[in-house]
């Protein structure tokens, strides 16, 4: 049973590390291109405050 538990933990850690690497490396590289393509505009602090009010 310990062998299966160790294997499960190892697989979980590999998946977690892969997700972290994706978040650190791929998302910052893709997100600016996506924003340019879609035309997303950042709100100014004044606009955000007006929406919240």
Residues 4 and 47: their CA atoms lie apart, in Å, by 54
Q: Give the confidence band of 38 by pLDDT, cuts at 50, 70, 90.
A: confident
Between 38 and 13, residue with greater pLDDT: 13
Rounded to whole angstroms, how far apart are CA atoms 11 and 6?
9
Please check the confidence at residue 19 and state whether its pLDDT lies above 90. yes
* Alpha-carbon span 28 to 35, nearest angstrom: 11
Residue with tokens 């979980």: 12
Q: Is residue 1 predicted with pLDDT exceeding 60?
A: no
CA 5 – CA 15 distance, rounded (Å): 15
For residue 15, pLDDT beyond 80: yes
What pTM, to 2 d.p., does this model score? 0.52
Tokens of 25: 């490396």
């Amino acid at each position: 049973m310990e062998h299966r538990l160790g294997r499960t933990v190892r697989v979980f850690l590999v998946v977690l590390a892969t997700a972290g690497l994706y978040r650190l490396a791929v998302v910052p590289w893709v997100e600016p291109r996506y924003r340019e393509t879609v035309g997303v505009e950042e709100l100014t602090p004044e606009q955000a405050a007006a929406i919240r009010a």
